[in-house]
Structure 1
Amino acid sequence: MTPTLVITVIAVYFALLITISLITTKRSDSSTFFTANRQSPWYLVAFGMIGASLSGVTFISVPGWVADTQFAYMQMVLGYLLGYLIIATVLMPMYYRLNLISIYGYLEQRFGFWSYKTGAFYFLLSRVIGSSFRLFLVAGVLQIFLFDAWDVDFSVTVLVTIVLIWLYTFRGGIKTIVWTDTLQTLFMLSAVSIVIYLISKDLNLSLGGITSAIKESEYSQIFFWDWQTGKNFFKQFFAGAFIAIVMTGLDQDMMQKNLTCKNLGDAQKNMFWFSIILVFANLLFLSMGALLYIYANSNGIPLPERTDNLFPMLARDHFNIIAGIVFLLGIIAAAYSSADSALTALTTSFCVDFLNFKEHETTLAFQHKQRNTRLIVHLGFSLLMFLVIILFKKINNDAVISAVFTAASYTYGPLLGLYSFGLFTKLQVRDYGVPIVCLISPALSYWLNINSEELLNGYKFGFEILIVNGGITFVGLLLLYKKRSRP
């Protein structure tokens, strides 16, 4: 693919997104930005959430991960179903009952000021890290496909990537995101399906032949039972359930979309269909990953040192031009469908949780002031993500999907502990001590993780360290127990 063709594809794609943004931002205000006026069709939200959940990490890292973990990731995906069931039946009814804009408002009502701010802080930390990891992927792809040919520095690539997101989200917020994510999910799933078709055609495989080739390959094992490996089924399944709970149910980004539905019933329908489609979508990505390795091996193509580079390398150097364009559209759609909503959610959380924005303004002057402040916050988080991506470029050596889940295990653990304690006990705590507990628990979890083989007879933690982190937070909150004062 020539740089001219790449820039043309990107320009047309973003012209379409900006057009959608202009249409959806007519007569917009803060309520539109934060809640889409609570008028989003549930089926639109469900389909768009697929793209936000999968993201560029799934598009590139999951297929590349197949070489190291085969189809073990499906064990986590099955665990997601349990997590989504808990979200739909426990968390979402509470969010709708309390009529929340930011879901961390629950912590203030349940525990107090410091718990509320701690929960919101950990979301901001988690989302900045996770979204920066995801954008790192798409920036790397744009570097390979376009900017390397022009001898442009990686930092410029990252800056362009973030500016493009800012352009179509700064006005419409979540209302724009609901519509653009739907379009981007369609592009992403279409891209995977087309790439699978083109590879199978090159390898002379029918639909049945694709299934047989994957099944007979070294990459297709799903279930692993060795207790000491991080790929053990029970570790992966329960880690998946808790990752779904924290990265969806306790995440302002994902819940903000659900809270734009008209009512709880619509939001629960959205969660049900989203869960089912997500299982098949992940299976599709893993199948594509196996086919990528089969294709490379059958054509004698040397594998890249980093598994994340396999798909981009094949698309750029070995696929035909149609597959190259499809890949480019798919990765851009996948990465931006996650990053754009994250930027909006970060802005929402900071404005509502730390600047005390309300959904309805009272005067035109107040509306104007809030709008200007919101724009500054939006721009500030864009800059912060730029800096984190540059830092990540210097230190990262692992597959990005592994890095994302590892970061989530430490940053979402305190949220898991806080919400579990709040929902499953009626105890009160000394609110001022909550930030201390939530700082100690990730640190203690990290220490336990790096010393687990020595302390626990060779046991090695996987992503289930998230559960341990949440459990330590829960125990710490028990130590902060205080008796209710008598009326």
Structure 2
Amino acid sequence: MSPILVFSVIAGYFLLLMGISHFTSKTSDNTTFFTANRQSPWFLVAYGMVGASLSGVTFISVPGEVGNTAWTYLQFVMGNMVGYAIIALVLIPLFYKLKLVSIYEYLKDRFGQNSYYAGASFFLISQTIGASFRLFLAAVVLQIAFFDAFGIPFYVTVLTTIFLIWLYTFRGGIKTIVWTDTLQTTFLLLAVIISIGVIINHMDLKTSEVFSVISESKMSKIFDWDWRSNRNFFKTFLAGVFITIAMNGLDQNVMQKNLTCKNQKDAQKNIFWFSITFFFSTLLFLALGVLLYKYALDQNIPIPERSDDLYPFLALNQFGIFAGIVFLLGIIAAAFSSADSALTALTTSFCVDILDIQKKEKNQKNIRLWVHIGFTLIMFLVIVIFNAINDSSVVSAVFKVAGFTYGPLLGVFAFGLMTKRTVKDKWVPVVCIIAPILSVILDQNSVTWFYGYKFGFEILLVNAAITFFGLWTLYIRKPGFL
């Protein structure tokens, strides 16, 4: 694919985003930026959240990972469905009742100021690293597809990419994101559907034969019952439930979109319909994975060493120009639909939770603007550092550690919702720091200490449990409390 064609695709895509930004940010203010004036149609939010939830990591990794772990990822997604139901039935009513802008305001009301700052800080750290990592993957693809041809250094690629995201989000904020997410979800799903269609056409398969190829493949195995495996069904399913609650229900990035709906009932409909759409979208990615490996085998194409490289390699080099263009749009959409909302959520959380912007009488809009610029620069620096490390094992470790920071959030919220106990607020941040440290130690030594047992996603539950127990020890006895 020629660099000029790639440039034209990217330029056209961003012109669409800028057009949406222009129409959604008219007469915008801080309320528009933070909550979209709570006027978003629920079905629009539900559809757009699919792209944001899948992200660039899922777009590239899930099809390739089929060659390593088959369809066992679907066990995790099954758990996700239960997690989304809990979010809809428990968290959504709570957040709407309290009329929150940032969901971490709940911690201030429940425990105190220190707990509030701890929850917001863990979110800011996790989201900054996670969003930067996802955008890093997209920047790498753009570097290979376009910028390398002109000798443009990687940091310029990153700076250009993140500046464009800032450009279409700095005025309308979450209101713009709700609408751009629908466009990005469409491109993401089209990329998968068209890729499947291209493979079917190249392999001259009939519709009935496609289902047979997928169902009869060893790569379509869903369930793993080995108790020591990190893909064991019970571990993976339960992790799917609680990771969804922690990384969606307790994540300002995701919940901010849900809280833009007109009322609680609309927000709940949004969650239920989104989860169903998300499940079938994941099935598409897994089916694509089986077909990618089948295609490569039939065409005698060597499988890349890194499973993440399989889909990009075939889409950009084997499937033709049209499929390559759609793939490029898909990876950009997948990465940006998570990065742009993350940038908006980071700005919202810092302004509301740390700066308490709502109590400032003057310069609210300017403060928000500078915070938005600040997080844009921070994400740029984090991505450049990822690239400088240039060691996939180190980068993966950093990203995994960022995932550990959701454990304290899950533990603190669970403690707040499941008990009536009050705690010594000043010690809550200490507990939230100790819990992930102990979890990392357990994760690193589980094989030696627990007879070959390997922690998978369920390490989040251990992390949350340590936090919960730690808070239990901080109990303050007051009349009327258990």
TM-score by length of 2: 0.97
Supply the distance in 2 between the matched residues of 1:398 and 1:330 (Cα, whole angstroms). Answer: 26
Tell me which residue corresponds to 2:83.
Answer: 83
Q: Structure 1 CA distance, aligned partners of 2:385 and 2:214?
A: 37
Which secondary structure does the structure 2 equivalent of 1:213 belong to?
helix
**CA drift at 1:376:** 1.1
* Structure 1 contact 409–465 (Cα < 8 Å) conserved: no
CA drift at 1:408: 5.1
1:429 aligned partner, one-letter code: V
Alpha-carbon shift at residue 486 of structure 1 (Å): 8.4
Q: For the Cα contact (< 8 Å) 2:195–2:315, is it kept in 1?
A: no
Tell me which amino acid in the other structure corresponds to 1:410.
F
Q: Quote the residue 1:397 is aligned against.
A: 392
The alignment status of 1:434 with 2:428, answered yes or no, reads yes
One-letter code aligned to 1:421: F
- Describe the shift of the 1:396–1:278 C-alpha distance in structure 2 as closer, same or farther (beyond 3 A): farther
Q: Distance in 2 between matches of 1:178 and 1:146?
A: 29
- Of 440, 461, 465, 1:446 maps to 440
CA distance in 1, matches of 2:153, 2:210: 40
Q: Could you tell me which runs of 5 or more consecutive residues in structure 2 were left unpaired when the two chains were aligned.
A: none
Name 1:474's counterpart in structure 2. 468
Aligned counterparts of 1:252 and 1:279: Cα–Cα separation in 2: 22
- Does the CA contact (< 8 Å) of 1:63 and 1:285 recur in 2? yes
Question: How far is the alpha carbon of 1:281 from its aligned partner?
Answer: 0.4
Query: Which among 421, 424, 427 is matched to residue 418 of structure 2?
Result: 424
TM-aligned CA deviation for residue 447 of structure 1:
0.3
1:381 equivalent in alignment to 2:375: yes
Q: Show CA shifts across 1:247-289 (max 9, x none).
A: 1100001100000000000000000100111100011011111
Q: Secondary structure at the match of 1:152?
A: coil
Pair 1:251 & 2:251 matched: yes
Q: Is the 8 A contact 1:130 1:404 kept in 2?
A: no
After superposition, the Cα gap between the structure-2 partners of 1:267 and 1:396, relative to the gap in structure 1 and judged at 3 Å, is farther
Contact 1:308 1:399 in 2 (8 A): no
- For 1:268, the aligned partner's letter is Q
The residue correspondences of 1:90-129 to structure 2 (distance < 5 A) are 90-129=90-129
Cα-to-partner distance string for 1:189-215 (whole Å, 9 max, x where unaligned): 111111100111101112221221122
The C-alpha deviation readout for 1:352-396, integer Å capped at 9, x for no partner, is: 00010229x86xxx2xx1111111111111111112122223254
Change in Cα spacing, 1:192 to 1:404, as seen in structure 2 (3 Å) is farther
In the alignment, the residues of structure 1 paired with residue 421 and residue 119 of structure 2 have an alpha-carbon distance, to the nearest angstrom, of: 18
In the alignment, does 2:54 pair up with 1:54?
yes
Give the Cα separation in 2 of the matches to 1:486 and 1:231: 44
Q: Which amino acid aligns with 1:336?
A: F
Asked if structure 2 preserves the Cα contact closer than 8 Å seen for 1:315 and 1:323, the reply is yes
**Separation in structure 2 between the aligned mates of residue 243 and residue 408 of structure 1, nearest angstrom:** 13
Structure 1 letter corresponding to 2:82: L
> Does residue 266 in structure 1 map to residue 260 in structure 2?
no
Cα distance between partner residues in 1 of 2:399 and 2:73: 12
Residue identity in the other structure for 2:328: L
Aligned equivalents of 2:346, 2:115: Cα separation in 1: 18
Given residue 397 of structure 1, which amino acid in structure 2 is its aligned partner? S
1:246 CA drift (Å): 0.8
Letter in 1 for 2:81: L
Match of 2:279 in 1: 279
Gaps of 5+ in 1: none
Asked if structure 2 preserves the Cα contact closer than 8 Å seen for 1:408 and 1:466, the reply is no
Q: 1:325 to 1:207 in 2, by over 3 A?
A: same
| Residues 1:194 and 2:194 aligned together | yes
**Percent of paired sites with the same residue:** 61
What is the one-letter code of the residue matched to 2:258?
N
| Counterpart secondary structure, 1:219 | helix
Match of 2:294 in 1: 294
Q: Deviations 1:9-68 (Å, cap 9, x if unpaired)? A: 000110000010000011100000000000000000000111110111111011111111
